[in-house]
Amino acid sequence: MSLPREIAELWSAGTPIVYLVTGEEERGVAACREAARAFEATAAVWSAHRGLEPLAPSARDPLDLLDAVLQAPAPLLAVLLDFHLELQRSAVARKLRDLAPRLSAEGRCLAVVAPRLVLPDGLAHEAAVLRLPLPSDAELGTVLDAAAAHAGAAPDAAARHRAVGAALGLGEAQARRAFLRALRADPALGARGFAAVVQEKVRILARDLGLELVESAERPEDLGGLEGFKAWMAERALAFAPDARRFGLPAPRGVLLLGVQGCGKSLASKVAATQLGVPLVRLDLPRVLGAGEGAEENLARALEAAEVNAPMALWVDEIEKAFAGSGPGQGGDARAARLLGAFSTWLQERRRPVFVVATANDVTRLPPELLRRGRFDELFFVDLPDLEARKAILAVHLRRRGRDPERFDLQALAQLCADYSGAELEQVVVGGLHRAYALGRELETQDLRRVAQDLVPLYRTYEENIKALREWARGRARTAGREGAVVELFRRAGG
């Protein structure tokens, strides 16, 4: 249902207050005006600065405003700007509560258009809360046409279509600015104009919504070990294509990678996006949730923007840090719990193909809500690499630095590097290169061996934590490495 229709229906059902949450005031007001037109009702707009226009410009005080609304001829839709600030005054909230029954009985309705939801408890029953959705393709098309007319440009149909697609996820005013800028640079909206729209969108989404495009080209062969994960991803990638939907397969929803530091969780997230063949967008949750009162609205907007830009892989790195303290036993506050609830619901109910890749190190801080069925398709445990994986990781990093792995005794090195993480194996290669360079010759196995012997792996310090993590993961998570590798590690760890 369109938003104006929804407003009109709430109104005719006797709702005295419609609360429209949006950062786009102009669009919100336009939707209210359209609802009033459908009703053949008067629409008036109130602000503390201009009073109730056009009916009672002198009614600047919110208490006077409420009187003016009651005196104006019905049906009337009064659109109130910045009223979330006024509602914090107890006299205003009280008066509104007292008048609510009369408002609805007489065909008057108040529409609060505000960037965030601030509703005193006493008014929760009187108000219906709506969110203004992001502009659709069609609305953005209208914005583009107006911008083009303004700039005296006339992009062809194909260029128009591409530019509109590139702007999805932006608000109307943001899209208008992006289009104007692009049209100025390239009136035909060719490759240069298209790139300008994309660039502007990437900038705005990162700045306002904590959604950053991650430029990465990591391929499965850049990730050593984690064979189980890569094979599972390859299968899911097939199911991510539109053909699979027609075949009747549900869209893959996402994966949670849990495990030991420096073993490739972040790297695996990038590889997953490559395997799916979609862009990788990082959601900076701590930033989104750190917005205080506006956090819920921020989260909703970021998730909505992700969906309109589907297909994509949405990467939530170190998810437990964002929601730390939200659980009941964790001294968490109600707001953090609500945010976690909103995120979990979205994980389960999102409609568009947004594949979520989340990572976590610390299971003790991971809210159990995230582990329930239906949130992620699979939970993978990323352990320290086994012998085969260590050889593969050393080979990846030698190759990455232009060395042929065949020239080195990887078997012996990997044996020497038991309990080393992927990051530490990378350090062995880099350290070896330093050593060889200082000695003025080509890299040899002995350089790698020397560095490996001197390195103290984190495992020495965190053995207990890592064992506890393994214990937790047993039976809960699938192994990201080779099947069977876990058994081997347990035996070594005496588990």
Ligand X SMILES: Nc1ncnc2c1ncn2[C@@H]1O[C@H](COP(=O)(O)OP(=O)(O)OP(=O)(O)O)[C@@H](O)[C@H]1O
Binding of ligand X by 384 (CB under 6 A): no
N residues, the chain:
495
For 355, how many CA atoms within 13 A lie in the half-sphere containing its CB?
Answer: 28
* Residue whose CB is less far from Mg ion, 266 or 274: 266
Taking the complex as a whole, the smallest distance from the CB of residue 311 to ligand X amounts, in Å, to 23
Site for ligand X in 270-299 (CB under 6 A): none
Binding of ligand X by 479 (CB under 6 A): no
DSSP-derived letter for residue 56 is B
**Cβ atoms < 10 Å from Cβ of 454:** 9
Tokens of 207: 């700045």
Q: What residue 228 binds from Mg ion, ligand X, none (CB within 5 to 8 A, per partner kind)?
A: none
Give the residue at shortest CB distance from Mg ion.
Answer: 266
Q: Give DSSP secondary structure letters for 259-275.
A: E-TTSSHHHHHHHHHHH
* Residue whose CB is less far from ligand X, 157 or 217: 217
Q: Give DSSP secondary structure letters for 19-51.
A: EEE-S-HHHHHHHHHHHHHHTT-EEEEEETTTE
Tokens of 127: 């108000």
**Cβ atoms < 10 Å from Cβ of 476:** 12
Q: What residue 422 binds from Mg ion, ligand X, none (CB within 5 to 8 A, per partner kind)?
A: ligand X
Binding of ligand X by 261 (CB under 6 A): yes
* Residue whose CB is less far from Mg ion, 55 or 260: 260
Which one-letter amino acid corresponds to residue 90?
A: S
Site for ligand X in 336-365 (CB under 6 A): 359, 361
Tell me which residues touch Mg ion (CB under 5 A): 265-266
Taking the complex as a whole, the smallest distance from the CB of residue 212 to ligand X amounts, in Å, to 16
Number of residues engaging ligand X in binding (CB under 6 A): 18
DSSP-derived letter for residue 54 is T
Could you give the residue ranges of the DSSP H alpha helices within 152-171?
157-167
Taking the complex as a whole, the smallest distance from the CB of residue 151 to ligand X amounts, in Å, to 44
Strands 378-382 and 108-114: unpaired
3-state secondary structure at position 314? strand
Contact 317, 274 (CB under 8 A): no
* Residue whose CB is less far from Mg ion, 82 or 362: 362
Taking the complex as a whole, the smallest distance from the CB of residue 319 to ligand X amounts, in Å, to 12
* Residue whose CB is less far from ligand X, 153 or 223: 223
Binding of ligand X by 263 (CB under 6 A): yes
Binding of ligand X by 396 (CB under 6 A): yes
| Contact residue for ligand X among 183, 267, 354, 477 (CB under 6 A) | 267
Give the residue at shortest CB distance from ligand X.
Answer: 422
Site for ligand X in 397-426 (CB under 6 A): 422-423, 426
Binding of ligand X by 76 (CB under 6 A): no
Taking the complex as a whole, the smallest distance from the CB of residue 317 to Mg ion amounts, in Å, to 6
CA-nearest of 223, 154, 222, 138 to 188 is 154
Binding of ligand X by 176 (CB under 6 A): no
* Residue whose CB is less far from ligand X, 164 or 263: 263
Taking the complex as a whole, the smallest distance from the CB of residue 315 to Mg ion amounts, in Å, to 10
Q: What residue 267 binds from ligand X, Mg ion, none (CB within 5 to 8 A, per partner kind)?
A: ligand X
Is the previous residue joined to 73 through a cis bond, with omega within 30 degrees of 0? no
Binding of ligand X by 485 (CB under 6 A): no
CB under 8 Å to 358, separation ≥6 — which residues? 254, 255, 256, 257, 315, 316, 317, 319, 370, 376
Distance between CA atoms of residues 224 and 269, nearest Å: 13
Taking the complex as a whole, the smallest distance from the CB of residue 268 to Mg ion amounts, in Å, to 9
Binding of ligand X by 135 (CB under 6 A): no
CA-nearest of 358, 159, 173, 388 to 255 is 358
DSSP-derived letter for residue 137 is H
Residue ranges binding ligand X (CB under 6 A): 223-226, 261-267, 359, 361, 393, 396, 422-423, 426
